[in-house]
């Protein structure tokens, strides 16, 4: 599975991952796409609506072991609090970036975009493979109108492409209608959908 997923998206820079949010398949593909290089040669950025930055980092260490050379976790929630100031930084920051950051309002896509760009700018010339995970578009669509989300993702995918990053974006297909999914697919180089216990891959 790991090799097939990575081979299927080889050459793609922005990948839409369609699977039930709590499924084992989604979790495994998430890990596979986060580890496309050795930890010492990766810079990993996670945008999460479902957990705290501390929990995300702890889950990585429990399931994958060593943290990447550079890591950033942006927690998005109206109740999320950044723990960067009070916690030990688990890996070296670059350009003054904190490992953990918070975007207080889920509707603040401008603030989220700025925060993502700070990490991309800091890591661009580090000689590492930049990988970004957005967990999840399901949550983003709950807080924003489709046209607004589409414009945000259009800018974001271009920014990732500009620094030769690999981005993967999770969406639960049960939480969006076919028209929404079809429109969002147009933004991505590849999409991967888990149905009938297997992955179907399509490329643009």
pLDDT at 204: 76
Q: Which CATH class is domain 2-203?
A: alpha beta
pLDDT averaged per 10 residues, the chain (length 204): 65 90 73 86 93 90 91 80 42 62 92 95 92 92 94 97 94 93 95 81 82
Which pairing describes strands 166-171 and 129-135: parallel, antiparallel, or unpaired? parallel
**Residues 6+ away with beta carbon under 8 Å from 102:** 53, 74, 75, 76, 77, 80, 81, 82
For the chain, the domains span 2-203
Q: Are 41 and 192 in contact (CB under 8 A)?
A: no
Q: Are 160 and 14 in contact (CB under 8 A)?
A: yes
pLDDT at 97: 60
Cis peptide before 16 (omega within 30 of 0): no
Q: Using a cut of 0.85, tell me whether the model's pTM lies above it.
A: yes
């Amino acid at each position: 599975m790991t090799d097939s997923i990575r081979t299927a998206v080889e050459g793609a820079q922005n990948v839409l991952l369609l699977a039930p949010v709590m499924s084992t398949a989604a979790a495994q593909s998430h890990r596979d796409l986060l580890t496309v290089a050795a930890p010492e040669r990766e810079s990993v950025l996670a945008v999460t609506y479902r957990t705290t930055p501390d929990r995300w980092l702890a889950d990585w260490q429990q399931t994958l072991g060593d943290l990447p050379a550079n890591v950033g976790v942006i927690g998005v929630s109206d109740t999320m609090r950044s723990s960067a100031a009070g916690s030990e930084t688990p890996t070296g920051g670059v350009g003054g970036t904190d490992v953990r950051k918070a975007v207080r309002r889920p509707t603040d896509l401008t603030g989220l975009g700025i925060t993502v760009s700070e990490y991309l700018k800091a890591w661009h010339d580090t000689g590492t493979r930049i990988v970004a995970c957005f967990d999840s578009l399901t949550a983003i669509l709950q807080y924003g109108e489709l046209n607004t989300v589409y414009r945000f993702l259009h800018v974001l995918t271009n920014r990732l492409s500009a620094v030769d990053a690999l981005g993967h974006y999770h969406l639960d297909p049960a939480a969006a209608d076919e028209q929404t999914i079809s429109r969002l697919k147009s933004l991505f180089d590849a999409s991967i959908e888990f149905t009938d216990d297997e992955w179907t891959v399509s490329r643009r």
